[in-house]
Structure 1
C-alpha cells in the first residue's frame, strides 16, 4: 500500500454532501485545477473503488478517520481540508461548553472548552431543546443572545433572541434530531462586530499562514451574508505571522485562533487538517464591554480558499517571496471585474440567483 508521502496520481473531488449548490460545485472544480497545478498532477474523476494514491478535495470536514484511511487520507499531505472523529467536532458546536448536567453526544469532551477558554466568547452548546431553554436562561440575564444553527454557513439562519418567549418561538422551528446529532449554539450577542479571519494551509510542501477581515454583502433577498475576505499571508507558520507589525486587535485574534487550534489538536484524537480557518469576532456586549473570541472553525473548503490557493501558487512560483496580500469577493450580480481578478464563478445559480465570485493577489506593500 503506498504511503501518504508517495507521489499522488491526481486530484480527486470528494463530495460528501447530500446536495452541493451549483455555484459551490463549480468553484470546487476550479480549486481542484489550481491544487493540481501546485502538485504537478492532473485532476481525475472520482474513482469507482477506493484508491489511496490520490490527493483529495472534500466538500466538507471528513468524519471518521477509520473510514477515510481506506482512501489513503492519513496526513495533511493527502487532502485539502480536515478530518475528525465525531460529527459535532466538524462544526461551531465545539466553540462552547455544555451547560451543567446537559446531554451530550458520543465522544464529547469538556477538555476542549477548558483548554480553549481564553479564546471563547460566553455561550453554550446544547444537544436538546430542554438544555437550550436552560442555557438561554443563563445568558439572557446579561442581555440578548444569538441562536446559531451549527451547520449553517455565511451567517444564515442566526437569530438574535431577547426573551424566553422569542426563544420558544425559534425552537419551534428546530429539528430535534438535527440538534441531537449536530448540536445548537447559544452565544452572547455582540454589536458593532468586526470579524477577523485567521488560518493556515499546507499544500505541496508549502505552509502559508494568514490573518484578515471579512466583509458582508446583500443577497438578492436583501439578507446580509458573507461577501469576501481580505487577507495578509506569509510563508511559514503562525510564528511568522506574529512577526508582522500588527494592531492589538489583530494580534489578539491570531493568538486566540492559535489557542483554539492547539486545544483541538490536544482534545480531539485523530484530528488531521491541512486547511484550517477561524472566524474571530470582536464587538461590544450589551453592557458596552469589548469582547473578542473565536466564533467557529472551518476545516474544509471555505470562502477564503480561492485566495489561499492563489497565494500558495505565488509562493511556489517565487521561493524568495515571504508576504503577499490576497482577497476573495462574492457579489450578487455582475460587477465590473478588476484587471487582476481571477474569476472562479459567474452565473445564474438556480437557488440564489446571479452571483460572481473572484479573487485577487497583490504585493504586500500595496494594500
Structure 2
C-alpha cells in the first residue's frame, strides 16, 4: 500500500518507509505510514509512502526502516550515511541489534560469529542481568547449567518481540527439553540468550530520538496486556519526555528507580557506540527491567535495545511535535496504548493510530496521547 505524496510546496526531499523484514504485520505497516506522514511534516519534506527502488525521487531521501538496517555498504547504497538520513539505526552484523549482545559468551573460546565484541560484554556487565549468549547448543546447555545454580532462568529467542517465545526453565530436565525445541536455523549467526528469571518485574523504557534538529530523551514504564490468545504482551508505554539529552531528563525530579534505569541504559548506549564499528542510530530505545531474584534480591538490567521504530515511537514523535510547536515547553508526558479485542476503551483524548484485524493477532487498536508534565 503506497500513500499519495503530501501536497506540493514541501522542501526538496521525500520521507519513505523501508520494509526491512521478511514479514511486515499489517498493524505495524500502518503505524509506520502514520509516523512517516508526521515525520515528513517535522522535516518539511514530502511523504512518498513505501520506498520503490526503481522510482526517481527529487531531492534527498529520509528513510523509516521497519528494522535496523544491516550492512554499512548496503545503507550507503540507499543513500544513508548518518543518523540524519533515517529514523532508526544501522549496524554491521545481524546479531548486533538484537538482545544477543546484552550478555557475554560463556568463555573466551565459545562459538561466536564474525564481528562479536567481547569488550562490549565487559563494559555492560554492570548494566545487565546475569546471563549468557550462546551460538551453539553445547554452549547454551553449559550456560544454562551454570545459571541454574542461582535459580530459574529464561531462554529467549533473540528475534522475538513483546515477550513472546520465552521459556522459563527451573531444572536440568526442563533445560534439555527447551534447548531440544529451540530452532537452530539462525543460532550460529544470531544466537540465543539465557538469562536469570526475576519475579515482580517492572519494565522501564529509556530512550532518545534525534530528528529535525530536535533531541528528546525519555524514561517511563511499560505495561502488559492480554492479547487475543490470552498471552501477556506489550500493552503500551507511559513516558516522561524532556527536550534535550539525558542530563536534561534528569532535571525532571525523577524518582530513584527512574534514575537507576537511565544510568543502566546510558552505560549500554555508550558501550554500543564505542564497540561496534560504523554503528549509528537516530532512534535509541532500551528496555530495562527491575525485579527480584530467587533469593529476593532486587536487580536492574537492560534486557534489550531497539534501534528501529518501535512500540513507543508514536509517543516519541508526538513529543517532538509538541517541542517543535511550543518552544518554551521542556517536558511532556507521552503515552501509547495497545488494546486487543474489545476488552476496554481508550481515554477520550487518545488519538487512534491503528484499528483493524491482524491475521496473526486478531483485532488490535493502538493509541497515542500527549499531556502536560508537572507544572
> What's the TM-score once normalised by structure 2's chain length?
0.94
After the TM superposition, which residues 130-145 of structure 1 pair with which residues of structure 2 at under 5 Å, given as runs? 130-145=138-153
- Conserved 8 A contact 1:329-1:358: yes
In the alignment, is residue 175 of structure 1 matched against residue 179 of structure 2?
no
In the alignment, is residue 47 of structure 1 matched against residue 55 of structure 2?
no
Q: Where in structure 1 are there 5+ consecutive unaligned residues? A: 1-6
Instruction: Output one character per residue of 1:251-300: Cα deviation in whole Å (capped at 9) or x when no partner.
Output: 11001100000000000010100000000000000011111010000000
In the alignment, is residue 18 of structure 1 matched against residue 22 of structure 2?
yes
Question: How many residues are matched?
Answer: 360
Secondary structure of 1:242's match?
helix
After the TM superposition, which residues 303-314 of structure 1 pair with which residues of structure 2 at under 5 Å, given as runs? 303-314=311-322
Hey, what's the Cα distance between the residues in 1 that align with 2:372 and 2:24? 34
CA displacement at 1:8 relative to structure 2: 5.6
After the TM superposition, which residues 224-303 of structure 1 pair with which residues of structure 2 at under 5 Å, given as runs? 224-303=232-311
- Conserved 8 A contact 1:216-1:228: yes
Hey, what's the Cα distance between the residues in 1 that align with 2:371 and 2:147? 44
Hey, what's the Cα distance between the residues in 2 that align with 1:25 and 1:363? 29
Instruction: Output one character per residue of 1:74-132: Cα deviation in whole Å (capped at 9) or x when no partner.
Output: 11110000111111101000100000121000011101111112101110000011100
Among 325, 328, 334, which residue is 1:320 paired with?
Answer: 328
In the alignment, is residue 343 of structure 1 matched against residue 355 of structure 2?
no
Hey, what's the Cα distance between the residues in 1 that align with 2:287 and 2:345? 28
- Conserved 8 A contact 1:8-1:54: no
Among 115, 128, 134, which residue is 1:120 paired with?
Answer: 128
Cα-Cα RMSD: 1.3
CA displacement at 1:365 relative to structure 2: 2.2
After the TM superposition, which residues 157-176 of structure 1 pair with which residues of structure 2 at under 5 Å, given as runs? 157-176=165-184
After the TM superposition, which residues 210-229 of structure 1 pair with which residues of structure 2 at under 5 Å, given as runs? 210-229=218-237
Structure 1 counterpart of 2:94: 87
Instruction: Output one character per residue of 1:213-272: Cα deviation in whole Å (capped at 9) or x when no partner.
Output: 000000111100000000000000011111221221111100110000000000001010
Structure 2 counterpart of 1:3: none
> What's the TM-score once normalised by structure 1's chain length?
0.96
In the alignment, is residue 60 of structure 1 matched against residue 67 of structure 2?
yes
Hey, what's the Cα distance between the residues in 2 that align with 1:162 and 1:12? 46
Secondary structure of 2:289's match?
strand
Moved more, 163-172 or 321-330: 163-172
Hey, what's the Cα distance between the residues in 2 that align with 1:336 and 1:258? 36
- Conserved 8 A contact 1:311-1:324: yes
Structure 2 counterpart of 1:4: none
Structure 2 counterpart of 1:70: 77
Hey, what's the Cα distance between the residues in 1 that align with 2:44 and 2:350? 23
